[in-house]
Amino acid sequence: MRRSLALALVTTLVLLAAACGGSSNETATPETVEGEIPQQTVAEGDPAAGKEVYSAANPACGSCHTFSPAGSSAEVGPNLDESLAGTDKQQVLEAIVNPDAEIAEGYQPGIMPKTYGEELDDKQLADLVAFLTES
């Protein structure tokens, strides 16, 4: 008697587990997340306003970077005409507010100022990123 009760219990558990297993395939969210999930999302910006930010920032981006839509041709940092191709807005924002997190190949950390995240407000940063990625 005891044994068949135990068997019935096991059978029920197996059936339950099978039922759960079937539905878990339908979850829309991945269960394992690799890497970091970006905390900041980049708002839509105004490229024309971003052009102003590019030259009004202190120090001006154009004092170190070449970027032809802005008419700047300095060579201290990477040529943004070339290096921004294929990057997304989140990466560009990250490169501006946290420049030492990832260093462009062939360049030294500590040269690009780390102050822009404080100096520029969210709108100015969104505009600047729009200018850099949409021009």
Residue 44 or 105 having the CB closest to ligand HEC? 105
Residue 28 or 85 having the CB closest to ligand HEC? 85
Q: Minimum distance from CB of 46 to ligand HEC (Å)?
A: 15
Nearest of 54, 88, 85 to residue 71 by alpha carbon? 54
Quote the distance between the C-alpha of residue 119 and its chain's center: 20
- Per CB under 6 A, contacts with ligand HEC among 4-63 are 57, 59, 61, 63
- Per CB under 6 A, contacts with ligand HEC among 97-116 are 99, 103-104, 107, 111-113, 116
Q: Minimum distance from CB of 36 to ligand HEC (Å)?
A: 18
CA distance 132 to 60: 14
Residues 6+ apart with CB under 8 A from 29: none
CA distance 92 to 42: 10
Quote the distance between the C-alpha of residue 80 and its chain's center: 18
Residues 6+ apart with CB under 8 A from 118: none
Q: Does 71 bind ligand HEC (CB under 6 A)?
A: no
Report whether 95 contacts 102 (CB < 8 A): yes
- Per CB under 6 A, contacts with ligand HEC among 113-132 are 113, 116, 128
Q: Does 77 bind ligand HEC (CB under 6 A)?
A: yes
Q: Which residues bind to ligand HEC, rule: CB under 6 A?
A: 57, 59, 61, 63-65, 76-78, 80, 83, 92, 95-96, 99, 103-104, 107, 111-113, 116, 128
